[in-house]
C-alpha cells in the first residue's frame, strides 16, 4: 500500500489500489442508502469521499514517491495521512456505525491508549536511526506506517465527536515533541534524508546523478527544509484539530440523521 510505484524511472499511479478505493466508495454508498434511517445530511458523503480521494492521492499517486525528495514534502504527506484523512473519513460515517456497533467499537483502541501509542510511535519514526532502519526494510516500514494509521483513527474518534476539547488539547501537546525534534535537528545542522538515499539506491542512481537538488530548488534538503518540516507538521495538526472540533460540533448540533 505504501510502496513506491516506479517503472523504468517513471512515476506511476497505483491502479489496483484505485479499484479497491472505488469498491470502498460503492460499499459506503450502498450502506448509506440501504441501512440508514432518517434524512441523510449531504456533508457526510462529501467528507467521506474527500477523505477517500485524499487517501488515494497520498499513498497511491506519484506523491508517495515525490514526498521522499525532501523533509517538508514528506511531512506534508505524513500530516495528510494521519491528521487530515482519518477525521474526514470518520466525520463522513454515520454516528450509529461508530457508536452503536459493538463489532466496530472492538476494532478501535481506547482513545487514551491510541493517543499515547501514536505519539510515541510518531516521535520514534522521525528519529534518524529509526527512520534509516525502516527505510532499509520496506516490509517493516510499511507495517509501521499501517500501525500509525490504525492508531490515528482510534486517536481521532473522540475529537470527531465534538465533545472532548481537553482530549484535543492533549493531542496537540503530545505530538509537539515530534515537531520540535525536526526543528532541533535543523538547528544542529543535521540534514540526513534516508528516504531519498534509499530511493536513489533502489533506482540504481548515485546521489550526484539523482538528488532533490536536480528536481527541486533551494531550500529543499537543507537545514531550512528540515526546520520547515517541523513547522508544517505543527501547523497542519493544529489546523486539523480546529476544523475537526468545529465540524464535530456541527455534526452533533444538526443531528446528521442518527438512526432512531
Which residue ranges make up each domain of the chain? 6-254
Average confidence score pLDDT of the chain: 76
Cell numbers found for residue 11: 512515476
Give residue 221's pLDDT.
Answer: 55
Containing 6, the helix (H) or strand (E) segment is strand 6-7
* pLDDT band at residue 42 under the 50/70/90 scheme: confident
When pLDDT is cut at 50, 70 and 90, the band that residue 113 belongs to is: very high
And the C-alpha cell for 251?
455534526
Overall average pLDDT of the 187-212 stretch:
51
Q: What is the pLDDT of residues 154-163, one digit of tens each?
A: 999 888 876 6
Q: How far apart are CA 105 and CA 25, in angstroms?
A: 21
Of 108, 210, 224, give the one whose Cα is nearest residue 156: 108
- Is 237:76 a contact under the CB 8 Å cutoff? no
Q: Where are the beta strands (DSSP E) in 9-127?
A: 10-11
Neighbours of 248 (CB within 10 A): 23
Q: At 82, is the secondary structure helix, strand, or coil?
A: helix
- Which carries the bigger pLDDT value, residue 91 or residue 98? 91
Among 51-55, 121-125, 190-194, name the one with the lowest average pLDDT: 190-194
11 versus 256: the higher-pLDDT residue is: 11
Amino acid at each position: 500500500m505504501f510502496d513506491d510505484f516506479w517503472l523504468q524511472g517513471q512515476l506511476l499511479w497505483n491502479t489496483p489500489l484505485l479499484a479497491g478505493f472505488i469498491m470502498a466508495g460503492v460499499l459506503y454508498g450502498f450502506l448509506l442508502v440501504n441501512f440508514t434511517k432518517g434524512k441523510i445530511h449531504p456533508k457526510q458523503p462529501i467528507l467521506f469521499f474527500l477523505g477517500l480521494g485524499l487517501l488515494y492521492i497520498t499513498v497511491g499517486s506519484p506523491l508517495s514517491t515525490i514526498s521522499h525528495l525532501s523533509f517538508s514534502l514528506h511531512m506534508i504527506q505524513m500530516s495528510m495521512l494521519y491528521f487530515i484523512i482519518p477525521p474526514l473519513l470518520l466525520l463522513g460515517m454515520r454516528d450509529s456505525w461508530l457508536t452503536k456497533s459493538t463489532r466496530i467499537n472492538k476494532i478501535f483502541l481506547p482513545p487514551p491508549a491510541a493517543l499515547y501509542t501514536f505519539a510515541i510511535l510518531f516521535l520514534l519514526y522521525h528519529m534518524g536511526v529509526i527512520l534509516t532502519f525502516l527505510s532499509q526494510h520496506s516490509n517493516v516500514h510499511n507495517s509501521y506506517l499501517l500501525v500509525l494509521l490504525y492508531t490515528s483513527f482510534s486517536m481521532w474518534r473522540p475529537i470527531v465527536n465534538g465533545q472532548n476539547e481537553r482530549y484535543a488539547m492533549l493531542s496537540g501537546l503530545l505530538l509537539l515533541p515530534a515537531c520540535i525534534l525536526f526543528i532541533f535537528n535543523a538547528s544542529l545542522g543535521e540534514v540526513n534524508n534516508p528516504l531519498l538515499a534509499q530511493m536513489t539506491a533502489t533506482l540504481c542512481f548515485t546521489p550526484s546523478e539523482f538528488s532533490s537538488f536536480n528536481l527541486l530548488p533551494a531550500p529543499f534538503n537543507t537545514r531550512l527544509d528540515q526546520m520547515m518540516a517541523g513547522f508544517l507538521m505543527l501547523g497542519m495538526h493544529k489546523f486539523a484539530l480546529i476544523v475537526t472540533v468545529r465540524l464535530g460540533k456541527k455534526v452533533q448540533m444538526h443531528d446528521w440523521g442518527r438512526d432512531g
